[in-house]
Structure 1
Amino acid sequence: MKYLMRLAISFLPVALVALESTGQKPNIIYLMADDQNVLSVGCYGNSEVKTPNMDKIGNQGIIFARHYNTTAICMASRATVFTGMYEYKTGTNFDHGDMKPEVWKKSYPVLLREAGYLTAFAGKFGFEVEELGLCEDDFDIWGGAPGQSGYVTKKNSSMAKYAEDYPHSTLSYGAFGQDVIREAVKQNKPFCLSISFKAPHRPVQPDPKFDDVYAGKTFTKPANFGREAGEHMSAQSKQGRQYARFHEWHYDTDYDGVMAKYYQLVYGIDVAVGMIMEELEKQGIADNTVIIYTSDNGYICGSHGYASKVLPMEEASRAPLMIYDPRSASAGKKLTCAALTGNIDFAPTILDLAGVPIPENMDGESMVPLLRKPKKDIHEQLAFINAWGVVPTQSLTCLTKDWKYTYWWYGDSEMKPTEELYNLKSDPLEMKNLAKDPKSFSTLKTMRAKYDAELERWKQETVSYNNYQQYTTLFDRTIPWEQKNFTKSKNTDESNH
């Protein structure tokens, strides 16, 4: 039924009309950073950063103000992006296991290639598929890297030919994109180019070519910066590395220096994006190419006295998203969309753009209708999942446009299970937990019910492997924590993630 509704409501009036009007399938470019937050992009309101090409995508297209990654860590997020499914259906994350081949076979790159698209991938693939590894044979052009990838171009054998001109990997991906565009034009085929940049992920190794961009700069700290702004947050969220890294990574003592390097890494991506956009113009296909720019998760950067990602707070779970479809009536109008969107929506969107039917197994919805009418909605709520890392920090969150509810299930002699409830409309910086506010009790009950609905969906649809079924008990609000048994799968000390 969901599949039929998509065909009737979304696919036919949007994608087919666009295809019929042009007589061509659009080219699709999906660009994804690693650990980039919304404050690092100028078009999201930060005048202290320089991102002219990202801003151009946003200002010519749509800036999505409420975009979330349903799991804020690279392996799980990337599996979700490719497949359009929540983590508990991909079965893929650190500490859990690799993706199954039958899951990968319904990913957007596989389906687009079957539909006649030239497909290309470069950068950090982020996971492996059982029996298939990195799946390089499922792409026409391959520039991917195993594991966490890196910043030294020559160390990635699939990108080594770019090393002399672009020794830092970020710009090499721009050159790769240019070559893919030329090859697609040569073959007269529509293409889907997917690039996953290493930047701005640690280790902190920005391209020295851009050392002068932020040299000596000072930056305004967010209003929720520092430990005092996190005193109201759960004890569970303070047990993981995200809390310690506020000091370890020197946000407390050298904020300007740390952020200058972070923004420099982002600036390198922006230059690479510009290389790709320039080639589209040069080849005369810019007016039939959709560009999607985003990140696999956000980054906390000192807000509330935390660092890194993973946790459900806005700075980690939200990410920039800009989509420019030059064929859309909304193009060039500098529009912002406040609809709730998630990384589960990328695969359906890309397939919809290409005129390819969306598999029924996908949890996401196409964002194509939002490109025509940015005031529409496609979700009433989304789940945010953390099933990775130290046990106390693992949790389930339910999001709506205005509210966020998290149930922290873990308890021991020092902490008890607790709840967090934030009004994101009036308190976007999450400075007041309303879970114990009598005036918010009605909303609390509503959000608990929505949370329970997300957990029930998990119970009904989770894979039977890689230890995902245990969370249907762990995250259940009605079961006392003393009755919950947690199974650690593999190594939980993943210091590089």
Structure 2
Amino acid sequence: MGEGQTKRPNIVFILTDDQGAWAMGCAGNGEVKTPNLDRLAASGVRFDNFFCTSPVCSPARASLFTGRIPSQHGVHDWIREGSVGPNAIEYLAGQLAYTDVLAENGYVCGLSGKWHLGDSVKPQKGFTHWFVHQTGGSPYYNAPMIRDGQPYNEPAYVTDVITDDALAFLDRQAEEGEGQPFYLSVHYTAPHSPWLNGNHPQEYLDMYADCPGESTPLHTPKHPWLIKTAPGEDNRLESLRGYYASITAMDANVGRILDKLEAQGLTEDTLIVFMGDNGFNFGHHGVFGKGNGTFPQNMYDTSVKVPAIFSQPGRIPQGVVSAAMASGYDFMPTLLEYAGLQNPVAEDLPGRSFLPQLLGETPGERTDVVIFDEYGPVRMIRYEEWKYVHRYPYGPHELYDLANDPDESANLIDAPEHRETREAMKAQLEQWFVRYVDPAIDGAREPVSGFGQLAEAGVRGKGKKAYHDLE
């Protein structure tokens, strides 16, 4: 711990589902209303270049918790089967999560909301409080939840209910915690679809009744690889309005959490992290959805960049927007270092702590950082000014000059003048993945469709069909 710290910080980690990095007022979006996220950003550091490790929910979430890339933890697509029932699968069994380390060092760990990493009935990874969604996504009313080990359908609006449970956890800690630090994960299903047909309170829908939808390129022609994994394409403007309504409803609940911590006098003792699991496209590149909005899967910045805000007044600088590049695989080492704890598996993990940048202790950004992503057989390497995407085994591949083409509109893969750049980036990508991939669950050999994972990957699956077919 840093000088002057007498106790470990409490940690509240708020994670949203399918929220594009562009879908916040503080990120420059003039249509979506996020006053509480804007307030949180003003009190801390917002990262403009934070990347998920895989542009779909379950793999990205597994990487946040374990610090491993998908080809190390084995979750290569969103979990379609194995969440509940007699054939439930604990996809991260035997893998250390940062919450395990926190719990072993005296933290009381609670989870309210979406788990979506298998065997949802069973509390895992050091959590002693466990109120979770049975699967991943669902309607916002009558959502399938698990409370006290019992599956049930929640009649109330699930965004509110997740927050109610989180606030009850905070109240219990205030009354019974005996000074123990706490870690609380608040994992909203918002703003994941559905957005229409009465899924959100009318008061929030009314806020967007006249929204023109000018904050996204809604009318871009459809991408030729577009597949039906998100519903926004069919009713574009009304879907965007519903998407924004779900975000504003979630934002109001974030405000409830911030207010509770303030009322308890815990704001300066608590690290608050707000993050999205993966990016999202609402017409960007002609895509509606995330990495699996197309087949083959895409690695556009709008799919792989996520919102990321860190706040603890008195320790983290306020009102800072950082251009430093960081990844979901950097989250575990950063969080543990922030809490003053050793990472016992650091040598096996690809991530590196960005704590100096977070605390403003270094004058410059992390200029030598390279970002790597994977989604099944699709892999990406990204520099500050260049991006290369490789699709095993046959392509198509992509190369973008981000300095001159930030919208990734001109694929330079066949441009002879960029051959050396392409070859150097491909070589670096292959060397990096060879270093960290577990050959038994190597995503480059997995037939990931974007329509869900059915069983464990690679040899762990013992011959079972591991992925749903392309629809």
State the TM-score, normalized to the length of structure 2: 0.83
1:82 paired with 2:65, answer yes
1:32 paired with 2:6, answer no
CA RMSD of superposed structures (Å): 3.0
The aligned amino acid for 2:132 is G
Map of 1:448-463 to 2, 5 A cutoff?
A: 448-458=426-436, 461-462=437-438
- 8 Å contact 1:61–1:335 — kept in the other structure? yes
- CA distance 1:84–1:160, shift in 2 (3 Å): closer
The aligned amino acid for 1:195 is V
How far off its partner does 1:58 sit?
1.4
CA distance in structure 2 between the partners assigned to 1:266 and 1:44 by the alignment: 14
How far off its partner does 1:221 sit?
5.0
1:446 paired with 2:424, answer yes
The aligned amino acid for 1:182 is D
Q: Percent identity?
A: 24
1:424 paired with 2:406, answer no
How far off its partner does 1:250 sit?
5.0
The aligned amino acid for 2:27 is Y
CA distance in structure 2 between the partners assigned to 1:275 and 1:494 by the alignment: 41
Q: Name the residue aligned to 1:138.
A: 126
1:211 paired with 2:205, answer yes
**Cα deviations across residues 28-73 of structure 1 (Å, max 9, x unaligned)?**
1111111000221111111111001111121221111111111111
Q: Name the residue aligned to 2:411.
A: 433
Map of 1:195-344 to 2, 5 A cutoff?
A: 195-204=186-195, 205-222=199-216, 226-227=220-221, 238=225, 243-245=226-228, 249=231, 251=233, 254-310=235-291, 311-328=298-315, 330=317, 332=318, 334-344=319-329
The aligned amino acid for 1:277 is L
CA distance in structure 2 between the partners assigned to 1:356 and 1:327 by the alignment: 20
- 8 Å contact 2:31–2:215 — kept in the other structure? no
1:107 paired with 2:114, answer no
CA distance in structure 2 between the partners assigned to 1:287 and 1:303 by the alignment: 38
CA distance in structure 1 between the partners assigned to 2:201 and 2:236 by the alignment: 20
CA distance in structure 1 between the partners assigned to 2:464 and 2:49 by the alignment: 33
The aligned amino acid for 1:109 is T
CA distance in structure 1 between the partners assigned to 2:160 and 2:129 by the alignment: 18
Matched position secondary structure for 2:55: coil
- CA distance 1:95–1:79, shift in 2 (3 Å): closer
Matched position secondary structure for 1:407: strand
The aligned amino acid for 2:145 is N
Matched position secondary structure for 1:82: helix
Matched position secondary structure for 1:75: helix
Q: Name the residue aligned to 1:171.
A: 160
- CA distance 1:297–1:100, shift in 2 (3 Å): closer
CA distance in structure 2 between the partners assigned to 1:149 and 1:157 by the alignment: 14
- CA distance 1:159–1:339, shift in 2 (3 Å): farther
The aligned amino acid for 2:306 is A
Map of 1:30-69 to 2, 5 A cutoff?
A: 30-69=13-52
Matched position secondary structure for 1:152: coil
1:402 paired with 2:385, answer yes
Map of 1:340-359 to 2, 5 A cutoff?
A: 340-358=325-343, 359=345
**Cα deviations across residues 79-117 of structure 1 (Å, max 9, x unaligned)?**
1111011011111234897524211xx101111111001
Matched position secondary structure for 2:281: coil
- CA distance 1:56–1:318, shift in 2 (3 Å): same
- CA distance 1:154–1:305, shift in 2 (3 Å): closer
Matched position secondary structure for 1:277: helix
CA distance in structure 2 between the partners assigned to 1:221 and 1:284 by the alignment: 37
How far off its partner does 1:135 sit?
2.5
Matched position secondary structure for 1:102: coil
- 8 Å contact 1:171–1:271 — kept in the other structure? no
CA distance in structure 2 between the partners assigned to 1:189 and 1:221 by the alignment: 44
CA distance in structure 1 between the partners assigned to 2:203 and 2:154 by the alignment: 12
- 8 Å contact 1:38–1:298 — kept in the other structure? yes
The aligned amino acid for 2:313 is P
- CA distance 1:55–1:379, shift in 2 (3 Å): farther
- CA distance 1:36–1:84, shift in 2 (3 Å): same
CA distance in structure 2 between the partners assigned to 1:144 and 1:260 by the alignment: 27
Q: Name the residue aligned to 1:185.
A: 174
**Cα deviations across residues 298-322 of structure 1 (Å, max 9, x unaligned)?**
1111112121112211111111111
- CA distance 1:78–1:64, shift in 2 (3 Å): same
The aligned amino acid for 1:99 is Y
1:23 paired with 2:6, answer yes
The aligned amino acid for 2:392 is W
State the TM-score, normalized to the length of structure 1: 0.79
- CA distance 1:50–1:453, shift in 2 (3 Å): same
How far off its partner does 1:216 sit?
2.2
State the aligned residue count.
Answer: 430
- 8 Å contact 2:217–2:283 — kept in the other structure? no
Q: 1:125 aligns with which of 112, 115, 119?
A: 115
- 8 Å contact 2:63–2:70 — kept in the other structure? yes
Unaligned runs of 5+ in 1: 1-15, 232-237, 388-393, 412-416, 473-486
The aligned amino acid for 2:323 is A
1:382 paired with 2:367, answer no
Give the structure with the larger helix fraction: 1
CA distance in structure 2 between the partners assigned to 1:154 and 1:452 by the alignment: 42
CA distance in structure 1 between the partners assigned to 2:217 and 2:250 by the alignment: 27
- 8 Å contact 1:123–1:197 — kept in the other structure? yes
**Cα deviations across residues 422-452 of structure 1 (Å, max 9, x unaligned)?**
1223322111112222333332232122222
Q: 1:148 aligns with which of 125, 132, 136?
A: 136
How far off its partner does 1:206 sit?
2.4
How far off its partner does 1:286 sit?
0.4
CA distance in structure 2 between the partners assigned to 1:220 and 1:260 by the alignment: 11
